[in-house]
Amino acid sequence: MDAQLVARAREALRGRLHPTPLVRSATLSERLGREVLLKNETHQPTGSFKVRGALAALAALEGEAARRGVVVASAGNHALGVAWASRQLGVPALVVVPETVAIVKRRALEEMMVKLRVQGRDYDEAEQIARDIALEAEATFVSGYEDPWVIAGGGGTIALELCDERPDLSCVVASVGGGGLLGGLGVGLDARADGSGSAPQLVGVCAAASPAMKRSLQDGRVYRRWDAEPTLADGLAGGVAERTVALARVHARAILLADERAIACALEHAARREGLLIEGSAACALAPLLDERAAAELPGDAGPLAVVLSGRNIDRAKLRAAIASV
């Protein structure tokens, strides 16, 4: 997993996906006393950054592998990305989502006419089912957070866009589930460093209900499975992988936690103050900026800071309930 793979992933996206907006938040800039920019992956055709990695991974398949197709497991957004990429490239795909999948994501998958199975009590169980299916069908299993092309195409290409538009960034904040987004961002940001070690500082934020990455780094072991508590950030639930933990150890300055109230507050802030519809996983990255103590500890002094808003796919009823709880 290196800068060359990120560059190749960017070429795979060229002409199929356009760079997403990087917008200044007046409210957060004033609140923090430093410029805050929001990277709106909500503008992707599937409503999430996950389509980047899915497209890069499927585009890399050749010959018999492309003909046999792919099998994926997902809490929803990776599945949507693979379904979209499958239609663009003509690569067959089967997606497995857990029984806990958000209604809005399941309906979107059904509308895309992709082969869909709803199996497993949680993401980790759905992933094992998907891996077994892929092995039996001699298809390629494409992990939503561990596959090198997914990491490079997702966080890696986002990092390149951030540096292209704002080479003066001092800090980038992103949510962390399996760790693919964080790892790709780290590789991409460091690839654009000017040789003096001045890459933006990278901060990850886990949902407190599923802190597998933070605990893996603290305990010196990889928690491939994690029994997450119910969380608004359902896309972040589950375990991590050796590759993503290794990348986080090298590239991440800190891993923070956001509890459910903090995530709900971030959803409310995004809707009412920023005019943005985001999902709980994206709100997780926004949460530290709304907490005075956590915001004060974000690195990069007073330089420009970017927050990656990873997606918008949230059930409206869940969003209304979260906002009402604040």
Q: What is the C-alpha separation between 241 and 97, in angstroms, rounded?
A: 19
In this structure, are 68 and 161 located in the same domain? no
Give dist(CA 108, CA 199) in Å, integer: 37
Place of tokens 């792919």: 70
pLDDT greater than 80 at residue 195: no
Distance between CA atoms of 39 and 20, rounded to whole angstroms?
A: 7
Question: What's the residue count for the chain?
Answer: 326
Task: Say what the pTM is.
Answer: 0.92
**The amino acid at 123:** Y
d(CA 54, CA 84): 8
13 and 162 belong to one structural domain: yes
Asked whether the beta carbons of 120 and 126 are under 8 A apart, the reply is yes
* Rg of the Cα atoms in the chain: 18
Residue 325 has pLDDT above 60, yes or no: yes
What is the per-residue pLDDT for 194?
A: 52
Residues 172 and 305 in one domain: yes
Between residues 92 and 326, which one has the greater pLDDT?
92
Query: From the candidates 86, 170, 216, 310, which is the catalytic residue?
Result: 310
d(CA 116, CA 101): 12
If pLDDT is split at 50, 70 and 90, which confidence band does 296 have? confident
Encoded tokens for 20: 């997403």
For 236-266, the DSSP string reads G-S---HHHHHHHHHHEEEEEEE-HHHHHHH
Sign of CA dihedral 6, 10, 12, 16: positive
Q: Report DSSP state, residue 20.
A: P
Which of 94, 126, 141 lies at the terminal end of a domain, its last residue?
A: 141
The pLDDT value given to residue 124: 83
Residues 137, 152: one domain?
A: no
Q: What is the pLDDT of residue 197?
A: 55
CA distance 73 to 42: 21
What whole-number percentage of the chain has pLDDT above 70?
98
53-112 pLDDT, tens digit each: 999 999 999 999 999 999 999 878 898 999 999 999 999 999 999 898 888 888 888 888
How far CA 12 is from CA of 8, 16, 104, 154, 220, in Å, comes to 6, 8, 28, 12, 35
Q: Does residue 163 share a domain with residue 131?
A: no
Strand segments (E) across the chain: 22-24, 36-40, 70-73, 93-97, 115-118, 140-141, 171-176, 201-207, 252-258, 305-309
Asked if 154 and 255 sit in the same domain, the reply is yes
Q: Which of 298, 110, 125 is nearest to 224 (CA)?
A: 125
Angle at 199 between CA 27 and CA 254, to 5 degrees: 70
Residue 287 pLDDT exceeds 70: yes
Say yes or no: 193 and 164 in one domain.
Answer: yes
Q: What is the pLDDT of residue 256?
A: 96
33 with 173, same domain? yes
Domain enclosing residue 60, as ranges? 51-141
Least confident of 168-182, 204-218, 258-272, 286-300: 286-300
Q: Which residues contact 166 (CB under 8 A, 6 or more apart)?
A: 22, 37, 304, 306
Do residues 289 and 196 share a domain? yes
Q: Do 76 and 37 belong to one domain?
A: no
Question: What confidence score (pLDDT) does residue 199 get?
Answer: 86
Please tell me the predicted confidence (pLDDT) of residue 9: 95
Q: What element of type H or E holds 219?
A: helix 212-219
Which residues lie below 8 Å from residue 243, measured CB to CB, with a gap of 6+? Answer: 1, 146, 148, 151, 183
pLDDT higher than threshold 90 for residue 297: no
| 315 vs 310, higher pLDDT | 310
- As a whole number, mean pLDDT of residues 259-275 equals 96
Look at residue 196 and tell me whether its pLDDT is greater than 60.
Answer: no
Considering the domain architecture, whether residues 299 and 159 belong to the same structural domain is answered as: yes
Domain boundary among 141, 161, 196: 141
Domain count, the chain: 2
Is a pLDDT exceeding 80 seen at residue 235? yes
Percent of the chain whose predicted confidence (pLDDT) is above 90: 74
- Tokens in use for 224? 């491939």
Q: Are residues 187 and 113 in the same domain?
A: no
End residue of a domain, out of 82, 113, 141: 141
Considering 50, 210, 214, 216, which one is annotated as catalytic? 50
Q: Let me know if 50 is a catalytic residue.
A: yes
Say what the pLDDT of residue 43 is. Answer: 96
The identity of residue 264, as a single letter, is A
Q: What does the block give as tokens for 193?
A: 């460093």
Contact, 31 vs 154, CB < 8 A?
Answer: no
Q: What CATH number does the domain containing 170 carry?
A: 3.40.50.1100
Within 10 angstroms of residue 150's Cβ, the number of other Cβ atoms is: 32
Share the mean pLDDT of the chain.
Answer: 92
